[in-house]
Amino acid sequence: YTMVYGILRLINFAHGDIFMVAGLIMVYAMTVMPIYVAIPLMIVLTVLLGFTVERVAYKPLRSAPRMSIMISAIGMSYLLQNLALYVTGGLSQQYPAIPWLSDTITVFGATTKRVTVITPVLTIVLVLALVALIKYTKIGMAMRAASRDFETSQLMGIKINSVISMTFIIGSFLAAIGSMLFFTNYTGVTPTAGAMPGLKAFVAAVFGGIGSIPGAVIGAFIIGICENIIKGLGWTTFSDAFTFALLIVILIAKPTGLFGEKVIDKV
């Protein structure tokens, strides 16, 4: 969310549904092939889906008003949901158990799946890798230039279409990894399974500071910890409400988020 917004100033509402499709791909792939083939195939197909979504739904509207692109994003989200509904018949699909990740372990007397412990560690590793890519590689430099000034970047010879496509490819790769971690814990994959994680990811991006990748991750950790504390206190019904109430408070008190840059309008 935050990478795409940083360059296109667009919230990719179809991102949660790409996450959901990655889960369905894994479900069906595991029925016909071994896991060491299914996981790379799922990642490749998810990346191809993200690339296709950008080319079909966003690229033709590059110079269109921002509202038109947003409507296209919402339309793509519903298209993916309804295609998944057609394929699955609306029935929840059981996500396959992934060896080692799905194993049960005991940490400080509490029993949980190994994926619960792996997720925050892997998240930090991936974020560090992503920040390094953005800061120290040629494509990362092009991304930073495009996010700073779209038109001037084009004049400087940066191939904007390639930069945007690469952004969607990276985002889809992260969605594929995220779906594997998420559905290993919550094993029912439905056509709307990506809606709530997608909305919460959006809240995390806004809370941390839209456009700031470390900020978005810190925002996600804060929201996740607070939600689990609320559930631990027995107020499970209000855990989702807390997330969206937090969004309202942040937008009122600090619209740029915790680590967002202050926007200065040049006159």
CA distances from 135 to 126, 131, 142 (A): 14, 6, 10
CA of residue 249 relative to chain centroid, distance: 22
- Spatial separation of the C-alpha atoms in residues 1 and 206, rounded to whole Å: 10
- Spatial separation of the C-alpha atoms in residues 126 and 124, rounded to whole Å: 6
User: What single-letter DSSP state applies at residue 109?
Assistant: T
State which amino acid sits at residue 80.
Answer: L
Cβ(26)–Cβ(42) below 8 Å: yes
- The confidence score (pLDDT) of residue 236 equals 82
Q: Which two tokens stand for residue 224?
A: 């996740």
- Per-residue DSSP letters for 3-59? HHHHHHS---TTHHHHHHHHHHHHHHHTTTS-HHHHHHHHHHHHHHHHHHHIIIIIG
State which amino acid sits at residue 139.
Answer: I
Res 95 pLDDT > 80 = yes
- Spatial separation of the C-alpha atoms in residues 211 and 202, rounded to whole Å: 11
Interval 178-221: pLDDT, tens: 999 999 888 889 999 988 888 888 888 888 887 778 888 888 88
Give the pLDDT band (50/70/90) at residue 76. very high
Q: Give the distance between the most distant pair of CA atoms in the chain.
A: 61
Give the pLDDT band (50/70/90) at residue 261. low
Q: Which residue has the higher pLDDT, 120 or 112?
A: 120
Q: Is the pTM of this model over 0.85?
A: yes
Phi-psi region of 157 (alpha: psi -120 to 50; beta: other; left: phi over 0): left
State mean pLDDT over 130-150: 86
Share of the chain above pLDDT 90, in %: 29
- The confidence score (pLDDT) of residue 110 equals 76
CA distances from 174 to 58, 94, 158, 180, 248 (A): 20, 22, 24, 10, 27
State which amino acid sits at residue 189.
Answer: V
